[in-house]
Structure 1
Amino acid sequence: MSRQIYINGQFFDSENAKISVYDHGLLYGDGVFEGMRIYGGKVFRLKEHLVRLEESGRAIGLPFPISMEQLAEDVNATVKKNAIEDGYIRLVVTRGSGPLGLDPFKCSDPQVIIIADSITLYPESFYENGLELVTASTIRNHPAALSPRIKSLNYLNNILAKMEGLKAGCVEALMLNHKGEVAECTGDNLFIVKNGRLSTPPVEAGILQGITRDAVLELAREAGIETSECPMTRHDIYVADECFLTGSAAEVIPAVKLDGRDIGDGNVGPITKKLNEAFRKLVRQ
Structure 2
Amino acid sequence: MYIWQNGKLVNKDEAAISPFDHGFLYGAGLFETFRVYGGHCFLLDDHLERLNAGLDLLEIGKKVTREEAEGAVKLLLEANGYMDAYIRFNVSAGTGEIGLRSEPYDSPEVLVFSKPLPPAAQLQEKGGKILSLNRNTPEGLKRLKSHHYLNNLLAWREIRHSPGVEGIFLTREGYVAEGIVSNVFWAKQGILYTPSVDTGILNGITRQFVMDLAKKSGIEVRQGLYLLQDLYEADEVFFTNSIQEIVACPRIGDANFEGLNGKLAGFLHGRYAEGRSSFYSRSEIRSEDFI
User: TM exceeds 0.5?
Assistant: yes
**CA–CA separation in structure 2 for the residues paired with 1:75 and 1:36:** 14
Aligned counterpart, 2:109: 111
The answer (yes or no) to whether the contact 2:48–2:66 under 8 Å persists in 1 is no
Which has the higher mean CA deviation after the structures are superposed, 185-194 or 222-231?
222-231
Is 2:69 the partner of 1:72?
yes
| Equivalent position amino acid for 1:78 in 2 | L
User: What is the aligned partner in structure 2 of residue 137 from structure 1?
Assistant: 132
Q: Which residue matches 2:275?
A: 282
Deviation at 1:60, TM superposition (A): 2.1
Rate the CA distance shift 1:266–1:250 in 2: closer, same or farther, 3 A. Answer: closer
Aligned amino acid, residue 255 of structure 1? C
Please give the secondary structure, in 2, of the residue aligned with 1:84: coil
Compute the displacement of 1:23 (Å): 1.7
Alignment of 1:94-243 (within 5 A): 94-103=92-101, 105=103, 109-119=107-117, 127-128=123-124, 130-143=125-138, 145-147=139-141, 149-168=143-162, 171-243=165-237
- Letter in structure 2 aligned against 1:34: E
Q: Distance in 1 between matches of 2:56 and 2:49?
A: 11
> What amino acid does structure 2 have at the position aligned with 1:32?
L
Query: Unaligned regions of 5+ residues in structure 2, if any?
Result: 279-291
What secondary structure, in the 3-state scheme, does the structure 1 residue paired with 2:35 have?
Answer: strand
Q: Which amino acid aligns with 1:71?
A: E
Q: Is the Cα contact below 8 Å between 2:3 and 2:76 reproduced in 1? A: no
SS of match in other structure, 2:13 = helix
Shift of 1:38: 0.3
Identical-pair percentage: 34
Give per-residue Cα distances to partners, 1:182-230, cap 9 Å, x unaligned.
1110110010010011111122221111111111112222332222222
Alignment-derived partner of residue 281 in structure 2: none
**Equivalent-residue separation in structure 1 for 2:75 and 2:147 (angstroms):** 21
Query: Which of 255, 266, 271 is the matching residue for 2:264?
Result: 271
- The count of corresponding residues between Structure 1 and Structure 2 is 275
3-state SS of 1:166 partner:
coil
How many angstroms apart in 2 are the aligned matches of 1:267 and 1:253? 9
Q: In structure 1, what is the Cα distance between the partners aligned to 2:134 and 2:216?
A: 34
**Are the counterparts in 1 of residues 168 and 179 from structure 2 also a CA contact under 8 Å?**
yes
2: CA distance between counterparts of 1:78 and 1:178? 44
> 1:121-161: CA deviations, max 9, x gaps?
xxx89x54x22211112222213x44553110111111111
In the alignment, the residues of structure 2 paired with residue 194 and residue 269 of structure 1 have an alpha-carbon distance, to the nearest angstrom, of: 11
> Residues 96 and 104 of structure 1: is their aligned pair in 2 closer, same or farther, counting only changes over 3 Å?
farther
Equivalents in 2 of 1:251, 1:67: separation in Å? 24
CA distance in 2, matches of 1:243, 1:155: 25
In 2, are the aligned partners of 1:190 and 1:245 still within 8 Å (CA)?
yes
> Are the equivalent residues in 1 in contact too, given 2:248–2:259 (CA < 8 A)?
no
Of stretches 149-158 and 23-32 in structure 1, the one that deviates more from structure 2 is: 23-32
SS of the aligned residue for 1:191 comes to strand
Gapped regions of structure 1 (runs ≥ 5): none
SS of 1:172's equivalent in the other structure is strand
Match of 2:52 in 1: 54
When normalised by structure 1's length, the TM-score is 0.87
CA distances 1:246-276 after superposition (whole Å, capped 9, x unpaired): 0012211011111x22333566412211211
1:89 alignment partner in structure 2: 87
Q: Structure 1: how far apart are the matches of 2:156 and 2:85?
A: 23
Aligned 8 A contact 1:243 1:263 in 2: no
8 Å contact 1:213–1:246 — kept in the other structure? yes
In 2 relative to 1, CA 72–169 (structure 1 residues): closer, same or farther, beyond 3 Å?
A: closer
Normalised to the residue count of structure 2, the TM-score between the two structures is: 0.85
Cα distance in 2 for partners of 1:41, 1:261 equals 41
Task: Kindly provide the amino acid, as one letter, of the partner of residue 93 in structure 2.
Answer: R
